[in-house]
Structure 1
Amino acid sequence: MKRKLAVVGASGLIGQSCIAHFAAQPDTEVIGVSRRAPFHLHGAQFVATDLRDPKSVAAAADALKGVTHLVYAALYEAPSLVAGWSDQEQIRVNAEMLRNLMEIGITDHAALAHVTLLQGTKAYGVHIRPMVLPARENRSEMREHPNFYWEQQDYLTELAGMHGWHFTVLRPQFVFGHSLGAPMNLIPALGVYAAILKARGEPLHYPGGPMGILEAVDADLIAEAIDWSHGVETARNAVFNITNGDIFLWKNIWPALARSLGMEPGEDRAMELATAMPAAASEWDAIRERHGLAAPDIGKFVGSSFQYADFALGYGRTVAWEDSIVSTVKLRRAGFSGAIDTEEMFDKWFSRLRADRLLPPID
C-alpha cells in the first residue's frame, strides 16, 4: 500500500529527519508542512502553512487530501523558552494548532490510517521536579501540572475513536538533529559556540554547571521508530519513551565533543550562552565570511537554542540537576530495537552541518 505521509513541523529537527527518511522510501509520497521551508526537502513537496491561522490551514487542505499517515512534530515555543513551558498561552496555542490541522487541514479522515504525536520528558515534569526514575509511560506522568501534551493526547484519543484510525505517541529525551532556527537544538548552538572559541584561539571550555545523568535521542532514530510504528499492532494507540539506548554525562562526553569539532577540551568556564553568544554575533559573521558558509546570522541559525543550551548544560547551578532517565522497556518489548551510540551521534550531526557549509571546516 502506498503511503501519503505529511510531516507537520517539517523545518524542525525531527521534521527534517522524517522527510529524509520517508522520502527515501519508494512506497511513500511525502509532504512537508511548516511556516518556513526546511533546509533539505529531499524531493518532498512543501506546503507553507501557519497552523495558528485557520485561513492558512484551509489553504493547505487540498494538498493534504488523501493523507494516510501524519507525523505531528509542530511546536510553538514562547520567546522566554523555559518560562514558557508553564505558560497558559503556550498551552492554548499548541492545542489550537493541532485542532486547526485535524479539523480544517485534514478533511479526509476516512483515508487517514495513523498519526504520530511527539511529546517529551516534560510529561514527567523534568522541568519542574526530580523525575521518578526510571520514568515509565502511563505511570509517572505529571498530569496534575498544566501541559499542552495532555490536551493534544486526549484530543487525538477522542478523534481516533470517532474515525477509526490509530495513533502513536513518542516521548524522546534530548533530541539532536539538523534544523535552522529551532528553539531546542543543541547542535547549532554548540557548533557556533565552538567556532567562536576556536576563532579566538581558545579550547572548548565547558560553559555549564553540574548536571546529572542524561539520555539523548538522535532525530534519525525517531524517524526510524515512526516508520516501524506504521506496520505493527503493538504500536497502535500506544505511548513510548525513546532514547539512543545509552546514557551520558556532559563532563564525561565533553572531550569527544571537542574532537568532533576539531578542538581540545578546555576548562570549566561558566558562560550564559543566551547572553554571550548574541553579543558575539559580529564574530560569527566574520567566521561565516571567512569560510564562505551558507549559515545565516546567529539569530536565524540558532534561534532560542542558546536558552535551551543554558538549561540543558546546567548554567548557573551549584548542585547537579537530578538524573533524567526514562524506561524504554515498553518500546523494546513492542518490537523496536534501534539504537545509536551518543558520541557517534554528536559526531554525525556536526559532520553533516559541516558538509552543508553551516559550520566551518575542522582544518
Structure 2
Amino acid sequence: MGDHRSSTPPVALVVGVTGMAGLSIAEYLISPAAPGGPWRVYCSARREKPSWFPLRRRPLHHLRRRQLRRHSINSAPSPQITHVFWAALQVRATEEENCAVNSAMLANVLNVLTKSESSKLRHVTVQTGTKHYMGPIFDPFLSTQLSPPDPPFLEDAPRVPFPNFYYELEDLVASYAPKVSHSIHRCSIIFGASTRSAYNCLLTFAVYAEICKYERAPFRYPGNQYTWGHLCDVTDARVLAEQQAWAATTEGARNERFNCTNGDVFTWKRMWKLLSEVFEVEYVPFDGGDEKFDWVSVMREKGHVWDRIVEEKGLFRSKMEEITCFAAVDAVLNIGFQHVSSMNKSKDFGFFGYADTPTSTKYWVMRLRQLNIIP
C-alpha cells in the first residue's frame, strides 16, 4: 500500500482546531514526524482561539468562519487545500437536530472547496465515534429505545436503526467520490487537552476532583457496578491524529472506516485508582450500593465553587458548565455492556499506532496543568 501520489504538496485544513482532536491533528501535521510533513496547515474554529491555545505563534494559518462560506475561500489568501481533517462538532438537544446542523456544516465547507474546477481537494478525514455502534445514547427520547450493542465493536457492524449524525457525515463524504476520497475514524472516549470540546471526559473528572478536594468531599465513582468491574477503552488524541494523517496519505486506506483506540483496555476500578493518584485525592472504592450517586445533580450546583478555584489558583478563566459534560460521562459510566472496539482492521491495513492508557492519562493531566486549565 503506497502513499497518495500527487505533484501537489499537501495542504491541510483542520476544522475544529481548538478541540481535543483538532489541536492534536494540527500539532502532528506541522511536525516532521507526520507523513509528508511538516504540512502547510490552515485551521478554523467557530470561536477565536483561547489564550491557552499552544499554537498561536506556530506555522498555522487561521481561517475565519466567513472564509469557509460560499464564494469566500477562493478570495482568501488562496489556500490550495488538498486535505480536510474534520474534527468539528455541534451538540443539539435531539439527534435529529444533531444530524441537521453537523451535516450542514460539513456540506458547506466541502461545497466551497470543490466548487472550482481548479480545486486541489483530494481527501477528507472525518472523526466520528463509538456512538456509531451504540446509537444516540444522549438523545433524551431515543436513548430509552436502544438495545445493548455486541462488543467488541467492529467496523462492518450494521447501522443501528435510529437517527445518527455520524451516518449523515459518512454518507455525505462518500457522495464526493470518486474525485475526493475519504476515511472515517471512529474513536472511543477521547483523552486530550482543551476547554472547547463538547465531550471532554478527562477534564470533567479533573474539575470534579478539584471541587471534591476544595470541599473535602469524597471522590466517589458515579457509575454502576457493571462498568466498575468490566472493560472499557479510550483514545489518546495523539493516536487519533496519527491515524488520520496515515489514512490521508495511504492509498489502501481510501474510502475505509477505522476504529481508533489506544489498543489496550481497563476497568473503571483501576482507572479510578489512577485518577485518584494523578488528581491527588483519596481513592474511594465503589460500594456497590443500590442507591445511585447522582453526581449530575450534585455538580449542577457547584459552578460557584469552580469559579473560586479558578480565581484563587489563577487559572484560565472558564465556566464549569462550558468545559464539563457530567451528563454525558454519567451515561457512559452507567451502561450495561463493555465499551471496547477492535483495532484489528486498522492493523490489517498497516496502522500500528497505540498508547498505554495509564501513561496517556498522566500525560494529558500534565498537559491540562501546563496550559493552566486545571491546578
Query: Which runs of structure 2 are paired with 1:189-268 in the superposition (5 Å)?
Result: 189-210=204-225, 211=227, 212-268=230-286
Partner of 2:172: 155
TM-score, normalised via structure 2 length: 0.84
Partner of 2:48: 37
- Per the alignment, in what secondary structure is the counterpart of residue 220 of structure 2? strand
CA distance in 1, matches of 2:152, 2:133: 10
Preserved CA contact (<8 Å) 1:214 1:324: yes
CA distance in 2, matches of 1:272, 1:57: 46
CA distance in 1, matches of 2:269, 2:97: 36
Partner of 1:103: 111
Preserved CA contact (<8 Å) 2:126 2:185: yes
Preserved CA contact (<8 Å) 1:117 1:170: yes
Number of matched pairs: 341
Partner of residue 348 from structure 2, selected from 321, 333, 350: 333
Partner of 2:5: none
Partner of 1:285: 307
CA distance in 2, matches of 1:193, 1:133: 29
The CA deviation at 1:135 is 2.1
Runs of at least 4 residues off by over 6 Å: none
CA distance in 2, matches of 1:358, 1:115: 31
CA distance in 2, matches of 1:34, 1:58: 19
CA distance in 2, matches of 1:280, 1:292: 18
TM-score, normalised via structure 1 length: 0.87
Partner of residue 27 from structure 2, selected from 1, 12, 20: 20
Partner of 1:74: 88
User: Which whole-Å deviations, capped at 9, do the CAs of 1:160-180 have from their partners, x for residues lacking one?
Assistant: 22x2x3211111111121121
User: Which whole-Å deviations, capped at 9, do the CAs of 1:139-176 have from their partners, x for residues lacking one?
Assistant: x1325322122222122112122x2x321111111112
Preserved CA contact (<8 Å) 2:89 2:198: no
Unaligned stretches of 5+ in structure 1? 315-319
The CA deviation at 1:105 is 4.8
Preserved CA contact (<8 Å) 1:31 1:46: yes
| Alpha-carbon distance change, 41 to 354 in structure 1, aligned in 2, over 3 angstroms | closer
CA distance in 2, matches of 1:169, 1:7: 15
- Per the alignment, in what secondary structure is the counterpart of residue 231 of structure 2? coil
The one-letter code matched in structure 2 to 1:121 is: T
Unaligned stretches of 5+ in structure 2? 1-7, 138-145
| Alpha-carbon distance change, 65 to 356 in structure 1, aligned in 2, over 3 angstroms | closer
Q: Does 1:276 align with 2:298?
A: yes
Q: Does 1:146 align with 2:160?
A: no
CA distance in 2, matches of 1:189, 1:174: 12
The one-letter code matched in structure 1 to 2:45 is: S
- Per the alignment, in what secondary structure is the counterpart of residue 353 of structure 2? coil
The one-letter code matched in structure 1 to 2:18 is: S
Partner of 1:347: 362
The CA deviation at 1:282 is 1.4
Preserved CA contact (<8 Å) 1:295 1:357: no
The CA deviation at 1:107 is 3.8
Q: Does 1:9 align with 2:24?
A: no
- Per the alignment, in what secondary structure is the counterpart of residue 265 of structure 1? coil
Preserved CA contact (<8 Å) 2:15 2:87: yes
CA distance in 2, matches of 1:343, 1:295: 28
Partner of 2:333: 313
Partner of 1:112: 121
CA distance in 2, matches of 1:221, 1:57: 33
Q: Does 1:185 align with 2:207?
A: no
CA distance in 1, matches of 2:207, 2:213: 10
CA distance in 2, matches of 1:300, 1:61: 34
Partner of 2:339: 324
| Alpha-carbon distance change, 56 to 157 in structure 1, aligned in 2, over 3 angstroms | closer
Partner of 2:191: 176
Preserved CA contact (<8 Å) 1:65 1:106: no
Cα RMSD of the aligned pairs, angstroms, is: 2.2
- Per the alignment, in what secondary structure is the counterpart of residue 348 of structure 1? helix
Aligned sequence identity (%): 28
The one-letter code matched in structure 1 to 2:161 is: E
Larger displacement relative to structure 2 (347-356 or 181-190): 181-190
The one-letter code matched in structure 2 to 1:88 is: E
The CA deviation at 1:198 is 0.8
CA distance in 1, matches of 2:307, 2:174: 47
CA distance in 1, matches of 2:75, 2:336: 47
Preserved CA contact (<8 Å) 1:49 1:60: no
Partner of residue 154 from structure 2, selected from 126, 131, 136: 136
